Structure 1
Amino acid sequence: MTIPNLTLNNGVAMPQLGFGVFQVPNEETAAAVGEALRAGYRSIDTAKAYGNEEGVAQALRESGIPRDELFITTKLWNDDHGYDSAVRAFEGSRQRLGLDYVDLYLIHWPTPRRDDYVETWQGFEKLLADGVVRAIGVSNFQPAHLRRLVDETGTVPAVNQIELHPYLQQAELRGMHGDLGIATEAWSPLAKGGDLLGEHAVTELAAKHDRTPAQVVLRWHLQLGNVVIPKSVTPARIRENLDVFGFELDTDDVARLSTLERGLRTGPNPDIFN
């Protein structure tokens, strides 16, 4: 199975479907990531705040997969904002991951009350210039945060990883991403904690295509052009979430799922989360 790549705005290729490890305990992470790598995933998304970078490292070592076939993302946590702090925090993540370089490094949240994400981004620019990261981006940034970064530094993030699913489609933000050349990456792509997978529109399309509801929603993301990082620790579900390239939603299918917009967040609001 070949996972398609998206080309980021600095020319780096990123798999459009990856494996997330949010809320996976460190002691379970190596097994879950190992299962994902055996299934065919090559992009792994972690973060300092998840506390499982070491588990990811173990799975990478044990996989035997050449480094240049992997795409590893991690994120800077909020208490590490600032130029020098960001550079130091990256080195800690790099060491825990056991890597010479990281493919994508993200500012996890803008934390607007701190008002230091621009300075933090300048630290990210140094990491990129030093060659220890291949691409830099952000997570949970709103339009005003993105505009300020670009206006004050001139460096456009390669990726903005945001909560995104049919209940929260982020049309304005995705439109801005398109204008600026930022890749949209969806976290919580299946709206964990909601009733999304039980929606009639989803279950009927699953029956139509002989697929699971989760596969239908993940396919919707891919056809919109989103990068998507579903998470599971169940081997069958890990494989199921990857098996989304053998069918295609038609125009009416995509439009039907798009009617599910509710403006419903299952995670924090970036404008007030500090």
Structure 2
Amino acid sequence: MTDFTTFGQQQRPQFEAYLEQALAHQLEEPTLKKAMQYSVMAGGKRLRPLLLFAVLESAKLPIDLNAMRVAGALELVHSYSLIHDDLPAMDNDDLRRGRPTNHKVFGEAQAILAGDGLLTLAFDWLTTTNLPADKQVQLVRILAQAAGANGMVAGQVEDIEGQTKQLRLAQLKQLHHLKTGCLIEAAVEMGALLADLNPIQKAALLTFAKYYGLAFQIQDDILDVTSTAAVMGKAVHKDAIEQKNTFPGLLGLAGAQAELEQTCQQAQQALQSLIGLDQTLLNSFLSYFDEQENK
């Protein structure tokens, strides 16, 4: 029986090899190529691609080159968002995944362009698979909606504007649904599309992903309080210094931990209504939060 940790150990090496080869083959302008590769190949959890792969695995379908390319598009968009999120005009971070952020290495202008290049390349990848044209169009639409003005970008706007006011819990959850959750939901929705799942199965997966994405952000807020830069690979304790709206700031540390536990339970309950698929692997993805807590 494969669990989250084992599945990640199995899938990450071949996925990262695919990313490295595809980027090396396709990118031409040398400075831009280095800047784009620098962030994409910096490691990371690869949670979004792994979630997509897990949907296919749960449906007993192969993780083929089409799945690799679609998952790669997700990771390109995620990497672009981190580059732009770290910029001085946004979160002004110097460290990401244990090394200097993109703009610290290549300069702000090149970092912006590297992000632009990754975002647009993602949609190129979605339309250069061997999938039927109608599926390619649906994949483009899912990713565009998740990453765009009604998804991740909107969440970034709400994050910036929220620094000037105290958000209520519902507002904070909505902010992170947009900023973080939408791309996680897109991962399972794209996996469901590749697997030709029925509407009931897709609805259960999206509910799971909604709570999984929220739990991911609550955990991130908690770790900003309790962890270290060496463990996290980025600066910690910045949220309190910059008076950002966070779950520990709003609920207290114990309250945020209780909210995390409840949210994980809601994600687990969503999987219980997932009929016709093996729930074991996706359920084990919730162990990620225990692993992070114990680091």
TM-score (norm 2): 0.27
* TM norm structure 1: 0.29
Which structure has greater strand proportion?
1
